[in-house]
Structure 1
């Protein structure tokens, strides 16, 4: 399959590398010039479960999009949520009536943006529990195991969605077709709304977070806010199951992992996707008259820290 990955950070690089190694034709688009230069010079460098791997992949900036040539069968979105509109404005030339777009971003509500660029029956939504760390321009660390769930946004896209599942599975990405991806997206948002925001604020990894005093009560309070707002979106989130799912990461094979929000804010001083996670729950809570004090506080604290480190 001919695939273009938007966003060559940790997760975009993981998917690009694994799909490339499985024989797919993969192109990267990224907005970080140092990353583009490093990958062009030395290839994508990865510590892949202890193995040193190099992949020579074509990579372009959004301004160079007209150099890509043939349009992709599938565009996978891994750009940051706050960069979504800017990126898709730039890549319009590689989107036609046959192009499918798969959004695997953390957070809630991305389909509202993507519907402006691709027909609903060519839009796929999903979540992934893979992890990845970026250690420098063109260098990533990929450890542990994960999976992908995805679904077509409209009924007409089901056949292609199932083809993507097979392509991903052949690449070792452990993909499954979901009959209720919206639930899965909100469930994943609960994970990011707890682990990502808290690890970024406390400057710790997942395992260290799990050892902090009072973490159980705080996790349950945050999840309860997601559930209260989700109920107004037609979702009945299983709070007990989600809490157990989050808590299990503290002693799992990703316990030493620093989530993407930590990597963006603490290491790279880049703006985070907090507005599309806890921030969305806060905004929707105000819309529905649902109090969300914990999500509001986490959003405001992350935004304050972004300002302090002059995140861009």
Structure 2
């Protein structure tokens, strides 16, 4: 199976390298030229625990360099780059190509469907972790980390089964879901638990989980999401906000920083529109107020405006 990753940062490189070691024909596509050149020159260095190995994988700075279409395109760019990224991936998308998002939040699947057709799109969520240690070098967290994939309409198709088998054969624990939208909402609750609050406060998880007032805020934000999902008829497995709050910090050290906080500290835009903003958008469709998540979105947007090259900023 030829698999192309559109976005090969820490997570894309970790999953792509693991699939390559499992026998897949993998291409990592990313504009980070130093990363691409290091991979092509020396292979992708993957550190797992204290053991380092090399994955033989091809890296490119553009889809045009791949030379042919892919069986599977996995999108792992920052949420706000999704539309531009899939348009740039046109050279590798053929009639039978499956396009799948493993990004955090909700809404990417709709953007992908608008660009390539809903029949080509699958969705998924992964708990695999990765840290980019330097160009061509990642710390990977694959063992025991679950990935869930599924068709948008809930069907259990041959193509979904084939992708699942490829992932599992490489050592990525992958389950098929006939309710991928519910799975995506469950993961969203976990992102809602800490993402925006840590971005606003600048706190790592050690601080977040030390202040009861922040816990109350997080639980209120999660509760809004649960109520919106239930009102929309989504089948979710997380119905107690405290469960999502607990799951969010499971196995993570006190110094852990959410991706939203890391983005702000790096002077980049966040994915707040696809996390807390998803709760707000779905709530608006149902005429349900979401004051906690709306406030978090507004505050994060204010910080983006102050600290980044915010679109339209004077």
Check conservation: 1:71, 1:95, Cα contact below 8 A: yes
Q: 1:309 aligns with which of 281, 288, 307?
A: 307
Aligned match of 1:98: 96
TM-superposed deviation, 1:217: 1.8
Unmatched tracts of structure 1, length 5 or more = none
Aligned match of 1:19: 19
TM-superposed deviation, 1:247: 1.0
TM-superposed deviation, 1:37: 4.0
Check conservation: 1:229, 1:285, Cα contact below 8 A: yes
Aligned match of 1:179: 178
Residues 3-50 of structure 1: CA deviation (Å, up to 9, x unaligned): 001111121111111111112111011133443344345543333223
Residues 107-128 of structure 1: CA deviation (Å, up to 9, x unaligned): 1122221113334333211111
Aligned match of 1:9: 9
Check conservation: 1:205, 1:258, Cα contact below 8 A: yes
Aligned match of 1:202: 201
Check conservation: 2:21, 2:56, Cα contact below 8 A: no
Aligned match of 1:294: 292
TM-superposed deviation, 1:237: 4.1
Q: State the distance in 2 between where 1:170 and 1:207 align.
A: 37
The count of corresponding residues between Structure 1 and Structure 2 is 309
Check conservation: 1:122, 1:152, Cα contact below 8 A: no
Distance 1:287 1:201, change over 3 A: same
Aligned match of 1:81: 79
Check conservation: 1:19, 1:168, Cα contact below 8 A: yes
Structure 2 length-normalised TM: 0.88
Distance 1:22 1:295, change over 3 A: same
Check conservation: 2:105, 2:188, Cα contact below 8 A: yes
Residues 180-203 of structure 1: CA deviation (Å, up to 9, x unaligned): 110010111111122222333333
Check conservation: 1:125, 1:153, Cα contact below 8 A: yes
Alignment root-mean-square deviation, CA: 2.5
Q: State the distance in 1 between where 2:117 and 2:81 align.
A: 20
Q: State the distance in 1 between where 2:291 and 2:134 align.
A: 36
TM-superposed deviation, 1:59: 1.8
